[in-house]
Amino acid sequence: MNATQNTFSLKSIYIDFREITKARLAVSVVFSSIAGFMLGIANIHSFSWIVLLKLAIGGYCMVGASNAFNQVIEKDLDALMDRTKNRPVPAGRMSSNTALIIASLLTIIGIVLLYTINSKTAMFGAISIFLYTSVYTPLKTMTSLSVFVGAFPGAIPFMLGWVAATGEFGIEAGTLFLIQFFWQFPHFWAIGWFLYEDYEKAGFFMLPTGKKDKSTALQIILYTVWLIIASLLPALGYTGQLFITPLAAGLVFLLGLWMLYYGVQLYKKRTAKAARTLMLVSVSYITLLQLVYIFDKFLR
């Protein structure tokens, strides 16, 4: 019986830790960092599994810490939404103090691990946590500009990998940042659209006009166009060591058109289903784009 209880207890702890750090999101963010890292090491021709492991664990800790702090700050608001009411803190399975201790430990571990790679990587990781918890989170109940602010920490992971690999922040890292920055808008506005009623319960302002209207859908299309342009910059030869071949540029362009198509569909239909489809497409888009960049780098 004790063994069963211990197993159940360990499983519960694991599930709560996974939820407090938002494991799925954290893993996808770590993937972006690894993608940036692979692009960076292709230029310096020096690969280290140890550095990659530090980046992956340190990156997970930083994202997990941000999410844990966020859930402590928003525990009362999370309790109002169907999507979040069963999270460990609002559901009462974990105290705010415990969540704060976890968030603080993850922050320390994350910064230390990233610092052992290089100081710039640790600095950008720390900036990401600060912007997410201290600026983006409070703004969510005040203004739709919170998405703009949140796009900054959200765009850091892709370029963080490059900085971890090279120790430098230049035009290459800046371009990777720009791509993921523009991607944030159609992605999160699509989420804000199909979860509009749930967000409304907590008083969150996620859509640029505050409504599920044509103006919001049009802005999604415009930012998708900016995303396509940013993603093709490396093909023009002005982004330093970050360069993609015409073949890769063609694939990236087709991916952009794929995402743009679903943005236009949302403009036409303005339904929750269309918004959810766009969100799913946006997740596939950014992953496939990063893979195209990587394969192009190593196979040319």
How distant, in Å, are the alpha carbons of 115, 259, 275 from that of 270? Answer: 45, 16, 7
Answer whether residue 203 shows pLDDT above 60.
yes
Number of Cα atoms under 13 Å in the Cβ half of residue 173: 21
Answer whether residue 143 shows pLDDT above 90.
no
CA distance 222 to 160: 26
Q: Indicate the burial class of 2 (C-beta count within 10 angstroms; 0-12, 13-18, 19 or more).
A: exposed
The pTM of the whole model exceeds 0.95: no
Q: Indicate the burial class of 256 (C-beta count within 10 angstroms; 0-12, 13-18, 19 or more).
A: buried
CA distance 247 to 258: 17
Sorting pLDDT into bands at 50, 70 and 90, what band is 4? low
Q: What is the mean pLDDT of residues 156-177?
A: 94
Q: What is the distance, to the nearest Å, from the Cα of residue 285 to the centroid of all Cα atoms in its chain? A: 13
What is the per-residue DSSP string for 85-123?
TTSTTTTTSS-HHHHHHHHHHHHHHHHHHHHHH-HHHHH
Answer whether residue 2 shows pLDDT above 60.
no
Which pLDDT score, from 0 to 100, does residue 1 have? 45
Residue-wise pLDDT for 276-287, tens only, equals: 999 999 999 999
Which pLDDT score, from 0 to 100, does residue 42 have? 79
Residue-wise pLDDT for 96-111, tens only, equals: 999 999 999 999 999 9
Q: What is the mean pLDDT of residues 184-190?
A: 96
Q: What is the mean pLDDT of residues 46-74?
A: 93
